[in-house]
Structure 1
Amino acid sequence: MAATTFDVSELWTPAVRRDPHDFYDRVRRAGRPVLQVDAAGNRLWVVAGHADVVAGLRHPGIGHAIHRHCPVPRQSRPPPTDEVARIEARQLINLDPPDHTRLRGLVSGGFTARAVARLEPWIGALADRLVAQARRRGRIDAVADLADPVPVNVIAELVGVPEADRPRFRAWSAAIVSASPHGPTATREFAAYLDELAARRRADPRDDLVSELTAQEDSEQRLDRDELVALVQLLLIAGQETTVDLIVNGIRLLLTHPSQWQALRERPALAAAVVEETLRFRGPVEIVPPRFAFEDVVIGGGWIPAFDRVGLSLWGANRDPAVFDRPHEFDIHRADLRRHIAFGHGIHFCLGAHLARLESRIMFERIARHLPDLRLAVDAGDLDAFRLHRDHLPLRV
């Protein structure tokens, strides 16, 4: 069989962006990590097999804290002084143990399956209001009218953001993830707001996450100011943006696969399966936040040189035919649903996975029960199947 070849920057070409799965199929067939170089000259070794991605997520020689392993020139760089850079450096997803272990431990109790289950009546009531409003309007947008209001209100409720401040909360989240020039400004505004909120909670604690975190400031496990901002910002972004993407893409996939949509309408209890298959087929995260090889790493039938970036593709892993039957078909009845790794694996397994699953399941159930005539208001052929649908998806009820 002829060797599989790749253009050096193929991952970022328009053709691959339109449908990355052919690229990831070829990476798996190559049986080794594939080197790609972005426009800035950064080297990224792409790994796409399910077993190899899992191995990479668990590998002790792959992580984020490259400054602890690189030669002296990188170690000698001073810590960032810019506020935005400092906050970014303290993001939980950019940390390795022991910092990661300490920070995750401070908030993990609020995101267990049992803790999240207590929110179901509150989330259900919110979903009921949204579908009732949608039914009255007739023409709606999946993002603004169904998906967006759920996670932003749930995360804001958990964090302790007053209802009147939540529109700003949502706007900051959108700006921070947009990679626009407004992102740094949004981070600084968010940080200033959180400083004020933390001060209010120190003076008048409530039953919310900010009160809980500020109450620990005299303990050995306390957070410093930048850690507090970074942790709450991550919860805002991860809890909002990725869940919106999950709900909207689930709706799009159902409405472009009529037999699956019909099955859910007949059995709304299949909503949990819709969540899992949407995560597998088109999860919110294509490649995990880039990690580095701290040493020469042997993985996936090849090796990655020390100090290069490692691109572990969740999309590639979740379409691996060695694990999933008919991997390129969207099928909510499949027997291998739970083998996907859309939420990651190991110590960086998504902290909010239980919450995202609950929010999405409730929305799909309510849509199936109360909006059975839901349909696209645009031609299905005009939809870009791989674009993050954070903007809009017009629907008719």
Structure 2
Amino acid sequence: MIDDFGPTELWEPATRRDPHAFYARVRAAGRPVPQYDPAGNRFWIVARHADVLEGLQHPEIGHELHRHVEPDLSPSAYPPSETERISSRQLIALDPPDHTRLRRLVSTAFTARTVARLEDWIAGVAAELVTHVRALGRFDAVTDLADPLPVNVIAQLVGVPDEDRARFRDWSATIVSASDYDGAATLAFADYVDELAARRRADPRDDLISALVAQEAQGDALDRDELVAMVQLLLIAGQETTVDVIANSLRLLLTHPEQWHDLLADPALAGAAVEETLRFRGPVEIVPPRFAFRELDLAGGTIPAFERVGLSLWGANRDPEVFSSPDMFDLHRADVAGHIAFGYGTHFCLGASLGRLEARLMLEAVARELPGLELTAEVDDVRLHHGGALPLQIGRT
């Protein structure tokens, strides 16, 4: 039965092997489906495209629940730690007006015009990486291609010197893997941002850190925790999501030989391949947790006040009401523009243009220079999503 859902089914191994079948059942159920995550939190899963779009724009769904519940006036014996303060100031954890203010301060670095000026430089970095792996013959596409490109791009934008970029990447990997249990990586990262900001106050450069600290003189500044949180978010969101898109584009193309051959024949299809990868297997399964600020009707059912709303981008992007043959990977797809892999509305991904550009330029370089590329092992989609390897070799063309 379509309504027969286990309470923790979304996180069970069988579902992790085929999450899209689960989301198809949620769409068919015609209502939000409650699920409990491993920490015991209840989410109301929404998976139809129209419903997810409505949820992404709903004025009574957001992140800052504390603004909508009665405050606990009892004194706390445990004031927030530094890592908790930084986490609470992440752009993706805020609603307007704070979200609006912080996003405005960094948005100029990610306009289409600003990003376009980086194209030649990014293409050069991609070409160097492809030249390196061609000499290796066998390599890991995650470690050797997908990972180094975005970390160098984000570091360049932020203003991280070349000699510090390895540390920059290590911090990102630790924080995003949820292994930063004691906050050591976050604190070390915060100290580094403090140091870098101090250097840029004394010696401004043409980079984002310099632009942000320059706002201080105009009275429109980020406070210290906001600055650290912003740089951390740019590193993690700009790095991890783009790695995912590049690696999965290659995986999907190489496991769909007819699509791979079409790209080899016409590398200009790289942009279409990126968009179809975003639709078919985007980097974000469910948007960061949002809450219903009151009891509300959504997706054919009622979500209780103050509970978590799980808006599934994966579910929306395989909705047959919007996409023909949605479970088919097809870089010639005419309806791909309907995907919402980067979200929608207030929290639409700030770095969408940059991520698209990086992935496109990498696929173009690979198609031109590595036509004999082959997978050397079967790759688990779920494992790749959580930081696995993508072993490749350059065979005969």
Pairwise TM-score range, normalised by the shorter structure: over 0.9
Where in structure 2 are the equivalents of 1:252-291 lying within 5 Å? 252-291=251-290
Report how far residue 358 of structure 1 moved. 0.2
Which amino acid is the alignment partner of residue 394 of structure 1? P
Secondary structure (helix, strand or coil) at the match of 2:183 reads: helix
| Alpha-carbon displacement from aligned partner over 1:206-234 (angstroms, at most 9, x marks no partner) | 00000010011133321100000000100
| Alpha-carbon displacement from aligned partner over 1:317-357 (angstroms, at most 9, x marks no partner) | 00000000000111100101111000000010000000000
Report how far residue 80 of structure 1 moved. 4.9
Secondary structure (helix, strand or coil) at the match of 2:270 reads: helix
Where in structure 2 are the equivalents of 1:251-330 lying within 5 Å? 251-330=250-329
1:245 corresponds to: 244
Which amino acid is the alignment partner of residue 384 of structure 1? D
Separation of aligned partners in 2, 1:63 and 1:74: 23
Separation of aligned partners in 2, 1:75 and 1:219: 38
Separation of aligned partners in 2, 1:156 and 1:170: 9
Aligned residues with identical type, % of pairs: 65
Separation of aligned partners in 1, 2:77 and 2:295: 26
**5+ unaligned residues in a row in structure 1: which ranges?**
none
2:125 corresponds to: 126
Separation of aligned partners in 2, 1:66 and 1:153: 36
Secondary structure (helix, strand or coil) at the match of 2:164 reads: helix
Which amino acid is the alignment partner of residue 361 of structure 1? R
Separation of aligned partners in 2, 1:199 and 1:119: 26
Report how far residue 88 of structure 1 moved. 0.3
Which amino acid is the alignment partner of residue 122 of structure 2? I
**5+ unaligned residues in a row in structure 2: which ranges?**
none
Go from structure 1 to structure 2 and tell me whether the alpha carbon gap of 1:79 and 1:104 turns closer, same or farther (over 3 Å shift): farther
Which amino acid is the alignment partner of residue 81 of structure 1? P
- Figure out how many residues of one structure are paired with residues of the other and give that number: 393
Go from structure 1 to structure 2 and tell me whether the alpha carbon gap of 1:243 and 1:75 turns closer, same or farther (over 3 Å shift): farther
Separation of aligned partners in 2, 1:63 and 1:176: 24
1:384 corresponds to: 380
1:393 aligned onto 2:390 = yes
Q: Which stretch of the first structure deviates more once superposed, 30-39 or 98-107?
A: 30-39
1:348 corresponds to: 347
Report how far residue 201 of structure 1 moved. 0.3
Separation of aligned partners in 2, 1:309 and 1:339: 26
Which amino acid is the alignment partner of residue 382 of structure 2? F
Q: Which stretch of the first structure deviates more once superposed, 280-289 or 74-83?
A: 74-83
Go from structure 1 to structure 2 and tell me whether the alpha carbon gap of 1:72 and 1:364 turns closer, same or farther (over 3 Å shift): same
Which amino acid is the alignment partner of residue 233 of structure 1? Q
| Alpha-carbon displacement from aligned partner over 1:260-288 (angstroms, at most 9, x marks no partner) | 10000001000000000000000000000
Where in structure 2 are the equivalents of 1:1-397 lying within 5 Å? 4-73=3-72, 80-181=79-180, 184-378=183-377, 380=378, 383-387=379-383, 388=385, 390-397=387-394
Separation of aligned partners in 1, 2:342 and 2:225: 25
Separation of aligned partners in 2, 1:170 and 1:238: 12
**Contact 2:2–2:26 (Cα < 8 Å) also in 1:** no
Separation of aligned partners in 1, 2:16 and 2:183: 26
Secondary structure (helix, strand or coil) at the match of 1:375 reads: strand
Separation of aligned partners in 2, 1:24 and 1:389: 19
| Alpha-carbon displacement from aligned partner over 1:94-151 (angstroms, at most 9, x marks no partner) | 0000000000000001101111000000001111111111111111110111111110
| Alpha-carbon displacement from aligned partner over 1:291-310 (angstroms, at most 9, x marks no partner) | 00000111111110000000
Go from structure 1 to structure 2 and tell me whether the alpha carbon gap of 1:161 and 1:29 turns closer, same or farther (over 3 Å shift): same
Q: Which runs of 4+ in 1 moved over 6 A?
A: 74-79
Report how far residue 77 of structure 1 moved. 6.7
Secondary structure (helix, strand or coil) at the match of 1:218 reads: helix
Separation of aligned partners in 1, 2:144 and 2:38: 37
**Contact 1:67–1:75 (Cα < 8 Å) also in 2:** no
Separation of aligned partners in 1, 2:49 and 2:388: 31
**Contact 1:272–1:361 (Cα < 8 Å) also in 2:** yes
